[in-house]
Structures are given as structure tokens and as C-alpha cells.
């Protein structure tokens, strides 16, 4: 949508968007906020977010796996893209994704990702961009010189041909295809839940078939450990995610062997913490809490809740009555375990009771000393588990997208195996490589959604220059 709109704004006509799903937006419509550096919203809130510093942080996060020219182009454009969207009637606030955000780069509008998609769709319609939903692209067409000449697609159970001098691929990765995940993604585990749209990678593999080189194929945008489930409290049905309870930094995490495996304050960045989880048997963990911790959550609210997910300040404040009862109800459904006996908790989660008892005793002793001798957890979050009943929440991993696939340059031109642009072929968003390393950069929240919109704009502008050169 961003690519189509950018080209339309520069005067390009006869633009068609092919959308496989019945509505536009994909995972972006399910997202919350976009990344921005030196944006109007940051200036309004007196947030210093210098492009140069954030560029260096992004590159350091990727351990230089990312293409610095692509990262620089994205970050340099991001503040202007926030202004571009606000000119369509949106209004952004920079909100905390985690308590450790500094600076705040996460730009969230009132309607979140869905509102951004609606604005893009509205502007595309105003400028005459044709959108065909329930239309699946299948194959790129090229002339004798290898230049793009169109696409073969399926619409209403029939094959159609769309002639075009340029094509932008942005099909959103292949997180919805478990066979492709098994084939290409070494970090994939069958137990991982899909949290994004069930995309199946047509765009990536069309490009590779047309001679494109691959870049970063097999990276996952995954998160964890997170418990699944949602509580509703009080007369207003306030939503409280079990994943945020399991991510409280004072909880204790153990694996299927009953042993701790990481400093639990890593929950402040669960896109990084996933790397610890996938090393555990079954990619499963258990968050342990006691009654005093649950009481603290009820009286003070949750401490690790992103504001832009429809949770926000209500969850970081004292919660409505009924948290203990709601957890007990979930326990009766088998969603979590509650007991006054650690041995019963251990048997319920399939852990050797003696091992779990040793883990808890060791942890409690560290809490008493104010020092974690195993993982040096911040003493602020060292709280012993002694007050029954005790709680055990099963935590797994979720996948939002795959990241990477098609090799591009900073102009979003698709490159062949000799690093030459394939004339008329462009790609944007998570279908492309070079914008990230193998771990999603949640150090700069909103990166994936922000890169989608910004790389789309860059692709649309590059298409315009190409078409004018013909």
C-alpha cells in the first residue's frame, strides 16, 4: 500500500495492488506502532532520537549482519514517514513498548495498525490505485532481456495476466506455511504459535524463480517465553494477558528439567529472550509465582505491559477485584497450575519434584542475600517464592513473521546472484533481507512495521524513477 501510494503521489498511473486475502493490511493491520527517528511526534514530546545514534544501535544489534545502506535508508526516512502519515489525518504518540525503552521510537496512533492501513487504503483510492482482493500472484513475467513485464495471478479460480513494466513484491513472508518453516528456519519449533497473518511466501519464491538472490532467508520474528490466555476483570471486562503475568520480572522461570535458564528480567525484551527459550527442551518454559506476587500485581498493576496493544495504563494501575478467582478458573480449565504444594506443581507441569525444590531453594536463598549467584538478576526484582498458593504458567513462543528472503539494495531493487538489479523488480517489507539480523531488533520498537512502510515508500519512489527512464 505504501509503495503504491508513493508512486501514485509522484504521478504514476495504472497502479494495481494484488492482495491474496479478502482485505488489505495483513499482519500490519494487526500491529500497533511504527518506528520513527526525529519525527514530529518525538519533537512534540521532547524526545531526542537522533538518526545517527539509532542507526549505530540497529547495526550493533544485528552484529553487522544487516546491510548498513538499507538500515540507514530506512532510519533516515522514518521521521518523514511519520509526518507523511500525519498529513493523512493520523496523530501519533511515542509510547513505551517496555519499561527500558530509551529513547521512545514506537509511534502509535489511536487506531493502531488498522488505522494506518485504512489511511493508506483511503489515499490509494483517492489517487486511483486499483486494489484487487482475493487475488494471488503466482509467477513473474520477464521479456527476452530479463526485464519484468507482468505477473500471472489467480482470481476467482481463474488465471489472469497483469501486464506491468514494474512490480513491487511485499507478500509478508511465510510464517503461515509450516512446511516452509521447517525447511528454511532452523530456529522454528513445531510448538510455536502463529500470532501474525498466515502468509505463505509466494512473493519470495516468485522472485527467486525469476533469478533473485536470497538474503536472510530463514530468519524468524519470534517472541517468548509467553503464556497464552486472557483474563477479563471487573465490570468493564478489563483485559489482562497471561503473557504479561508470566513476563513479570520478579517471576521465576524454569524449563522442563525444572532448572532456571535465564535472568527473568530479559522479559523486558521477549524478542531477544526467544533465543534462550528455543534452547530449552520443547521450547517450553514455566513461569512460577507465589501468592504475594499475585497480590502485588492486583494491588499495583503489571509492570511490563506495552501501552500500544490496547492494554496500557489500566493494566499498570491497580486491577479490578477478582484476579485470584480468575486465575483459579483458568487453573480448572488446565491453562495453568495452582497449588499450595510445590511437589504437586512439579507433577502438574511434568518436572521432577526434587529438582524443582532445589531450584526454588537456591533462588530463594539468593533473594535473601540480595544477590543472584547464577544469572546476576537485578536485586530489585529478587523476590522469594514462599507464600502459597503457588502458580505455574506454561510459556511458549509465538511467531509474527519470517524476516528476509529476497536480496535488495537500499533502493529496494531486487538483485540477482551477481548483485545486479533485475530491471523492473522491487521488493519491500519482511520479504526482503538486509534490514535485520537473525534476531528482531526490539531494541528499537516498531522496526518491522516501520520498515514495511518505509521500504514500501522507497520502493514506490524507485519504481517511479525507473518508469520515467524507459
pLDDT grade for 232, boundaries at 50, 70 and 90: very high
Biggest CA pair distance of the chain: 75
Which fold would CATH assign to domain 223-397?
Flavocytochrome C3; Chain A, domain 1 (3.90.700)
The percentage of residues in the chain with a pLDDT greater than 70, rounded to a whole number, is 99
Q: Output the CA torsion sign for 365, 366, 367, 369.
A: positive
CA distance 272 to 191: 18
pLDDT of residue 100: 86
Domain boundaries, given as residue ranges, for the chain: 2-219+402-469, 223-397
The percentage of residues in the chain with a pLDDT greater than 90, rounded to a whole number, is 94
CA 368 to chain centre: 37
With beta carbons less than 8 A apart as the criterion, state whether 397 and 277 touch: yes
Locate 79 and state its grid cell: 521521521
Locate 302 and state its grid cell: 503489571
**Interstrand relation of 167-169 and 421-427 (parallel, antiparallel or unpaired):** parallel
**Residues in a beta bridge with 151:** 140, 162
Q: Judge whether 2-219+402-469 and 223-397 match in fold.
A: no
Locate 334 and state its grid cell: 488446565
| Residue-wise pLDDT tens digits, 349-406 | 999 999 999 999 999 999 999 999 999 999 999 999 999 999 999 999 999 999 999 9
CA 155 to chain centre: 30
pLDDT of residue 99: 85
2-219+402-469 domain in CATH 3.50.50.60? yes
Query: How far, CA to CA in Å, does 155 sit from each of 151, 160, 201, 266?
Result: 12, 7, 18, 46
| Residue-wise pLDDT tens digits, 257-285 | 999 999 999 999 999 999 999 999 999 99
| Residue-wise pLDDT tens digits, 92-126 | 999 988 888 999 999 999 999 999 999 999 999 99
With beta carbons less than 8 A apart as the criterion, state whether 41 and 25 touch: no
- Helix (H) or strand (E) holding 286, with range, is strand 285-290
Between these two residues, 289 and 314, which has the higher pLDDT value? 289
| Residue-wise pLDDT tens digits, 11-22 | 999 999 999 999
Region 317-322: mean pLDDT is 94
Amino acid at each position: 500500500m505504501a509503495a503504491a501510494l508513493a508512486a501514485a503521489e509522484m504521478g504514476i498511473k495504472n497502479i494495481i495492488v494484488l492482495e491474496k486475502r479478502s482485505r488489505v493490511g495483513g499482519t500490519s493491520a494487526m500491529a500497533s506502532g511504527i518506528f520513527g527517528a526525529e519525527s514530529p511526534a518525538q519533537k512534540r514530546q521532547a524526545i531526542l532520537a537522533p538518526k545517527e545514534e539509532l542507526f549505530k544501535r540497529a547495526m550493533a544489534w544485528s552484529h553487522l549482519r544487516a546491510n548498513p545502506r538499507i538500515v540507514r535508508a530506512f532510519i533516515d526516512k522514518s521521521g518523514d514517514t511519520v509526518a507523511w502519515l500525519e498529513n493523512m489525518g493520523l496523530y501519533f504518540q511515542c509510547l513505551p513498548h517496555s519499561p527500558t525503552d530509551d529513547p521512545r521510537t514506537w509511534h502509535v496512533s489511536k487506531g493502531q495498525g488498522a488505522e494506518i492501513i485504512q489511511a493508506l487504503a483511503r489515499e490509494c483510492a483517492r489517487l486511483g490505485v486499483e486494489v484487487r482482493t482475493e487475488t494471488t500472484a503466482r509467477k513473474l513475467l520477464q521479456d527476452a532481456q530479463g526485464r519484468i513485464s507482468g505477473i500471472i495471478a489467480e482470481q476467482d479460480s481463474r488465471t489472469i495476466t497483469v501486464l506491468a513494466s514494474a512490480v513491487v513484491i511485499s507478500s509478508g513472508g511465510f510464517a503461515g506455511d509450516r512446511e516452509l518453516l521447517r525447511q528454511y528456519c532452523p530456529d522454528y519449533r513445531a510448538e510455536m504459535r502463529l500470532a501474525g497473518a498466515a502468509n505463505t511466501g509466494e512473493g519470495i519464491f516468485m522472485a527467486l524463480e525469476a533469478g533473485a538472490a536470497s538474503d536472510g532467508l530463514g530468519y524468524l520474528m519470534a517472541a517468548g517465553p509467553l503464556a497464552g490466555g486472557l483474563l477479563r476483570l471487573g465490570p468493564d471486562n478489563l483485559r489482562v494477558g497471561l503473557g504479561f503475568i508470566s513476563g513479570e520480572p520478579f517471576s521465576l522461570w524454569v524449563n522442563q528439567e525444572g532448572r532456571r535458564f535465564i535472568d527473568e528480567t530479559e522479559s523486558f525484551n521477549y524478542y531477544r529472550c526467544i533465543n534462550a527459550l528455543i534452547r530449552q527442551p520443547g521450547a517450553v518454559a514455566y513461569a512460577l509465582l507465589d501468592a504475594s506476587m499475585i497480590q502485588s500485581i492486583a494491588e499495583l498493576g503489571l509492570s511490563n505491559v506495552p501501552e500500544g496493544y490496547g492494554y496500557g495504563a489500566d493494566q499498570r494501575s491497580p486491577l479490578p477485584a477478582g484476579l485470584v478467582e480468575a486465575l483459579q478458573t483458568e487453573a480448572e480449565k488446565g491453562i495453568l497450575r495452582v497449588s499450595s504444594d510445590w511437589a504437586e506443581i512439579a507433577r502438574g507441569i511434568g518436572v521432577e519434584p526434587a529438582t524443582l525444590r532445589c531450584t526454588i531453594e537456591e533462588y530463594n536463598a539468593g533473594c535473601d542475600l540480595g544477590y543472584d549467584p547464577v544469572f546476576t538478576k537485578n536485586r530489585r526484582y529478587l523476590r522469594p517464592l514462599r507464600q502459597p498458593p503457588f502458580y505455574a504458567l506454561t510459556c511458549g513462543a509465538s511467531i509474527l513473521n519470517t524476516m528476509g528472503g529476497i536480496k535488495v539494495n537500499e533502493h529496494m531493487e531486487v538483485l540477482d546472484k551477481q548483485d545486479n538489479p533485475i530491471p523492473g523488480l522491487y521488493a519491500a517489507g519482511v520479504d526482503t533481507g538486509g534490514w535485520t539480523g537473525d534476531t528482531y531488533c526490539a531494541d528499537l520498537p516498531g522496526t518491522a512495521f516501520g520498515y514495511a512502510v518505509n521500504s514500501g515508500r522507497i520502493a514506490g519512489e524507485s519504481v517511479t524513477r525507473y518508469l520515467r527512464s524507459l
